[in-house]
């Protein structure tokens, strides 16, 4: 069957283009007007995003010591290897606070309370409006939100940014009062609600916010449950972890996504156990893999799972990003740094997906 683009059917052309890197897709836009129209069509954007989300990656924020105000990202892809891209288009010194379906939530380092949403591959950036409530609600302990979450709904084409933390009145200790601010990309404004919470969170718990089933999920410091914010009705609730899981001195838990479902990875002694939530409504968990860590025993105390799908798991250490192939049970180093002064890679590593999601 002939088509305006050659001897291939239109759908074949679409399927090929949908598997190209974002930069290559943008280059094909200038081939001709027909291709520009094809790639700009909503059908192609949805197709591209649908394929891309099946290929989770890892991004690590690195700071260029020669440029005081700029930083960049290292992107580690299981099939394409390692590439770098800059955040210079943001025009601010920023820190990555959240990642979801191709978008990043960035906070300004010099200006507290300033947040951006960007797609680092399309180089789109949006400065979020300041909330009128921000000067009044002092987050504990340093004025910054304890939890920063980003939820991007690819089907609806909208995203939400969540800032939450314990309120501290001037001159008083932090209270149980949990302040939550939610930015809605459709309404283009913030909303605020207040609840009472007792949970605390480690650095990795804060980094690993998982957007599933219309809610943002964080693992609590006690490792007994996860705290969930349902973005449709602004209600916090708790989800219990598998009964078989125990968190102690030699056991660590991490919250990830696994092909659209919640997943908990437990690392203890020389084992890595992967759990997945089979039924979200009934909160039913199933163990899907148990991996021996004996071949990397020396790294176990400082290894952190970052991203995964049914075929592989990305993990970060102080200076390396590793990938574990679940089918062949092979470990491989994907990236490493030599600079001894750099922060641990796991400290600034986030799960990432390459999409054409727009932040505007």
Cut 0.85: pTM above it: yes
- Kindly list the domain boundaries of the chain, sorted by start residue: 41-353
Per residue in 250-305, pLDDT (tens digit) is: 788 999 999 999 999 999 888 999 999 999 999 999 999 999 999 888 888 889 99
Instruction: Tell me the C-alpha distance between 19 and 102, whole Å.
Output: 15
Instruction: Tell me the C-alpha distance between 280 and 298, whole Å.
Output: 36
**pLDDT band (50, 70, 90) for residue 184:** very high
Query: 68 or 162, which is more confident?
Result: 162
Instruction: Tell me the C-alpha distance between 331 and 101, whole Å.
Output: 26
Q: What is the mean pLDDT of residues 63-82?
A: 73
Query: 42 or 342, which is more confident?
Result: 42
CB distance 126 to 115 below 8 Å:
no
Is the model's pLDDT at 47 over the cut of 90?
A: no
Q: Three-state SS for 143?
A: coil
CB distance 96 to 105 below 8 Å:
yes
Long-range residue pairs from 329-336, CB within 8 A, at least 24 positions apart, any chain: 329/291, 331/295, 331/296, 334/76, 334/78, 334/81, 334/82, 335/60, 335/74, 335/76, 335/82
**CATH H-level superfamily of 41-353:** Kelch-type beta propeller (2.120.10.80)
Least confident of 133-137, 146-150, 311-315, 326-330: 133-137
Phi then psi dihedrals of residue 359, to 5 deg: -90, 0
- Which helix (H) or strand (E) segment holds residue 26: the answer is helix 22-28
Q: What is the mean pLDDT of residues 31-35?
A: 74
- What pLDDT, on the 0 to 100 scale, is given for residue 249? 63
């Amino acid at each position: 069957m002939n088509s305006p683009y050659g001897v291939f059917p239109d759908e074949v052309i679409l399927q090929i283009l949908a598997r190209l890197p974002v930069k290559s897709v943008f280059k094909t836009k200038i081939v001709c007007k027909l291709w520009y129209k094809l790639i700009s069509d909503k059908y192609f954007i949805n197709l591209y995003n649908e394929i891309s989300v099946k290929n989770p990656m890892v991004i690590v924020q690195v700071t260029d010591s020669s440029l005081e105000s700029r930083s960049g990202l290292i992107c580690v892809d299981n099939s394409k290897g390692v590439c770098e891209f800059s955040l210079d288009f943001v025009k601010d010194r920023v820190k990555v606070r959240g990642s979801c379906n191709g978008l990043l939530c960035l906070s300004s380092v010099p200006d507290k309370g300033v947040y951006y949403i960007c797609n680092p591959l399309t180089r789109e950036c949006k400065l979020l409006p300041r909330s009128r409530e921000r000067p009044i609600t002092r987050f504990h302990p340093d004025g910054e939100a304890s939890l920063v979450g980003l939820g991007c709904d690819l089907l609806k084409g909208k995203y939400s940014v969540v800032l939450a933390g314990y309120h501290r009145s001037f001159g008083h200790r932090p209270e149980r009062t949990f302040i939550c601010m939610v930015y809605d990309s459709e309404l283009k404004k913030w909303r605020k609600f207040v609840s009472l919470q007792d949970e605390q969170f480690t650095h990795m718990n804060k980094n690993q916010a998982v957007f599933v089933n219309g809610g943002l999920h964080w693992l609590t410091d006690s490792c007994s449950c996860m705290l969930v914010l349902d973005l449709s009705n602004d209600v916090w609730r708790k989800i219990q972890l598998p009964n078989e899981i125990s968190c102690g001195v030699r056991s660590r838990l991490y919250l990830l996504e696994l092909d659209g479902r919640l997943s908990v990875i437990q690392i203890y002694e020389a084992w890595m156990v992967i759990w997945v939530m089979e039924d979200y409504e009934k909160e039913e968990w199933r163990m899907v893999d148990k991996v021996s860590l004996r071949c990397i025993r020396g790294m176990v105390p400082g290894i952190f799972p970052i991203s995964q799908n049914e075929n592989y798991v990305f993990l970060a250490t102080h200076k390396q990003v590793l990938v574990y192939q679940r089918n062949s049970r092979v470990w491989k180093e994907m990236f490493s740094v030599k600079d001894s002064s750099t922060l641990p890679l796991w400290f600034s590593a986030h799960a990432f997906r390459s999409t054409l999601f727009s932040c505007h």
